[in-house]
Structure 1
């Protein structure tokens, strides 16, 4: 029996939504403060996914200005296909977590181009779209509220009114309405998107309600268990071409000592569903499951970019925006040139191009020519939580920003010209919190055990490999930084221009280690 690995889309790809068109599946997820927004994936078997674009790939569609804090921005999209058009509806959230309304974009092809947004004025977040046999379009949002809308104009034609808000858990959200065998099924996540997350369901003969709750709600939750996958929720249903049913949902993979830490944010998992007495039954979300019938052997390749294309691939993201004046693939052929837009990674407005960390153990390396500029390689959670491996003026340094504290933990002279910078994450041989001075790792007992989820190692590679520092990974985790995102590893410039010849991301699974990878590729 063939088995598939969970998560199926690894890394910070939360709040998944999925639809099937013939034998093809399409999935989207939240992107929060990052541009471009709403990554879109394609699959033929629900297990192996490739990113084919971003739904919101023009600045005018997003409107993410520098006053949008980290973990705000674009929340919880839903993707649907109706009458030959793909629809994506999502929410935009501003400072303080205040919802700023919903937007709908459409396209004839999932790769785009996607339309300019149509705005919908309804309360809540996590919007959903569903159509009845008469062509009426129903929009549900967190709360849970229902309204009838015109998706072409955004006009609210009826409602909103409250329908059914779960089994009593806090934050009823991420409603998804599905028509199945004459019933309207309303999925709702509740309990918050942390350890108490759960999925409940109710049904009605009409989208207007009243909704009858499932007697076994919540029908999916890992709360109060010791299962390795936690925070399971925010689910969407899809029927495969062979008639089987599946859930895509978010979850986390916490590690380390109590209270445990997850560093890649909430990821996309897949779980089979069976039906009993008209209700879905989902088993625990496991690291491995029997594969769907359409499964086929496939292995991801290391993600390397030599910057030889005319445009950046869709997996590259930047906080809030990436103005054309801040980067170039043509200024120096075969190199990505970044131009500083701000003097520090500690405040919005800087130049950063990165990709999500997708494996528990991985190695990221870049070839950098700093010239007279200042820049390097950074592991980012937000402006107040990041580690930098920076080169400038003949010196390489490792800098840790943890909350209100910023410290240079290692320095080393380096020769001029191109250098190779390396950041490795490892979940074996995890170190206690450590301090470095002049590039030498502190030795001896530190009065504490290794408790973090991983260790990050920072090196310069030349004729020899020089290890500058090893830092505790817990300080770049959701539990420490808070928020809804995960680690993003990328290149930056904070002074002048800095050029990068290539960027290489290698999962440890491709070098003989196991890290519980998913099926996503770049």
Structure 2
């Protein structure tokens, strides 16, 4: 029996293939034009501590997120920044073998971060309780941004006196090609930077760095306009004092030049903070993804659910980020 499909009676000529390409290109342009003309409405979703990453034409957001009474890690993906598909849970704490080594019965996950290398996704996360025992940072790996992520089998970092092992962020330094882990803050209010080994699940060494002015937690590093931009949260997370501040340097570990506040509470939105920064895959525009309290007044402490929002970033003539105004809607 002939296993090959029958030949078509006639093959399309070169002109047909060219026409097909034109149709594809025209469709892509229409899609892109529609995406760039869309109105983005804030907030995007419930959640806090959002870490965002661009993958192809999609933006993925990994927040601290609760489903019912149990905090879990979910991923949210979108191509238009308006409609978000939820994936997960992307990590099951039942599969983290070391989670109960601290002797505590209950644990809390928060402040995740993710980075991709050679088709593998590395998922970093904070583990509490934070007060009874030292907080820890774990790392897991997965083959897709939707997970599931498989834990490495041991903590990547454990807190110690004067340092809280929380709020991980991994940065690929474009100058050296090294992967750097930024972590720390909260009660310890200390920032540490570590060079990771090639496996991205173990630490090669600590790199000494200074504490930036008004640093509390949630450090994020990105490189733009030939400058290293370190942005971070300041203040109390449940109060209006929570805000995003900013320092720059000529290296990814300082010394830091303080640039002031980027995001602060206004009369409609409170406590903006714990953010990440990406480039829009549709047009290359830099964006900040952060959480805030909506529908609150006064100085706090606030109750209820924080919300994830996204804004555009603009740079001044000197390469520094201009102060950002929170919005309820903007045009992509």
TM-score of the superposed pair, with normalisation by structure 1: 0.49
Q: Please, which of 16, 23, 37 is the counterpart of residue 50 of structure 2? A: 16
- Judge conservation of contact 1:185–1:202 (CA < 8 Å) in 2: yes
Residue in structure 2 matched with residue 246 of structure 1 by the alignment: 287
Q: Label 1:84 to 1:96 Cα distance change in 2 as closer, same or farther (>3 A).
A: same
Deviation at 1:197, TM superposition (A): 0.9
Partner Cα distance (1:53, 1:149) in 2: 27
RMSD: 2.8
**1:59 aligned counterpart, secondary structure:** helix
Paired residue total: 278
- Judge conservation of contact 2:178–2:195 (CA < 8 Å) in 1: yes
Structure 1 residues 155-193: Cα deviation after superposition (integer angstroms, max 9, x where no partner): 32221533332x33xx61101111224322111111121
Q: Please, which of 122, 129, 136 is the counterpart of residue 178 of structure 2? A: 136
Q: Label 1:58 to 1:92 Cα distance change in 2 as closer, same or farther (>3 A).
A: closer
Q: Please, which of 202, 211, 214 is the counterpart of residue 164 of structure 1? A: 211
Q: Label 1:261 to 1:122 Cα distance change in 2 as closer, same or farther (>3 A).
A: closer
- Judge conservation of contact 2:191–2:210 (CA < 8 Å) in 1: yes
Residue in structure 1 matched with residue 195 of structure 2 by the alignment: 148
Q: Please, which of 199, 202, 209 is the counterpart of residue 244 of structure 2? A: 199
Partner Cα distance (1:231, 1:97) in 2: 26
Deviation at 1:100, TM superposition (A): 3.0
Q: Label 1:283 to 1:106 Cα distance change in 2 as closer, same or farther (>3 A).
A: same
Structure 1 residues 322-372: Cα deviation after superposition (integer angstroms, max 9, x where no partner): xxxxxxxxxxxxxxxxxxxxxxxxxxxxxxxxxxxxxxxxxxxxxxxxxxx
**Residue ranges of structure 1 left out of the alignment (5+ in a row):** 293-522
Partner Cα distance (1:49, 1:80) in 2: 20
Partner Cα distance (1:155, 1:290) in 2: 41
Q: Label 1:232 to 1:239 Cα distance change in 2 as closer, same or farther (>3 A).
A: same
Partner Cα distance (1:247, 1:189) in 2: 13
Residue in structure 2 matched with residue 189 of structure 1 by the alignment: 233
Within 5 Å, which residues of 2 pair with 1:384-395? none
Structure 1 residues 275-333: Cα deviation after superposition (integer angstroms, max 9, x where no partner): 1121122432122x2232xxxxxxxxxxxxxxxxxxxxxxxxxxxxxxxxxxxxxxxxx
Residue in structure 2 matched with residue 114 of structure 1 by the alignment: 149
Partner Cα distance (1:200, 1:188) in 2: 5
**Residue ranges of structure 2 left out of the alignment (5+ in a row):** 1-36, 185-189
Q: Label 1:195 to 1:66 Cα distance change in 2 as closer, same or farther (>3 A).
A: farther
Partner Cα distance (1:29, 1:160) in 2: 28
Residue in structure 2 matched with residue 50 of structure 1 by the alignment: 85
Partner Cα distance (2:86, 2:217) in 1: 26
Residue in structure 2 matched with residue 475 of structure 1 by the alignment: none
TM-score of the superposed pair, with normalisation by structure 2: 0.74
Residue in structure 2 matched with residue 173 of structure 1 by the alignment: 217
Partner Cα distance (1:270, 1:177) in 2: 17
- Judge conservation of contact 2:233–2:273 (CA < 8 Å) in 1: yes
Q: Please, which of 206, 220, 227 is the counterpart of residue 263 of structure 2? A: 220
Question: Which structure features the higher share of strand residues?
Answer: 1
Residue in structure 2 matched with residue 428 of structure 1 by the alignment: none
Partner Cα distance (1:235, 1:61) in 2: 26
Which has the larger Rg?
1
- Judge conservation of contact 2:88–2:148 (CA < 8 Å) in 1: no
Structure 1 residues 349-399: Cα deviation after superposition (integer angstroms, max 9, x where no partner): xxxxxxxxxxxxxxxxxxxxxxxxxxxxxxxxxxxxxxxxxxxxxxxxxxx
Q: Label 1:97 to 1:29 Cα distance change in 2 as closer, same or farther (>3 A).
A: farther
- Judge conservation of contact 1:35–1:57 (CA < 8 Å) in 2: no
Q: Label 1:119 to 1:261 Cα distance change in 2 as closer, same or farther (>3 A).
A: closer
Partner Cα distance (1:259, 1:182) in 2: 37
1:229 aligns with 2:264: no
Q: Label 1:202 to 1:93 Cα distance change in 2 as closer, same or farther (>3 A).
A: same
Partner Cα distance (2:157, 2:44) in 1: 34
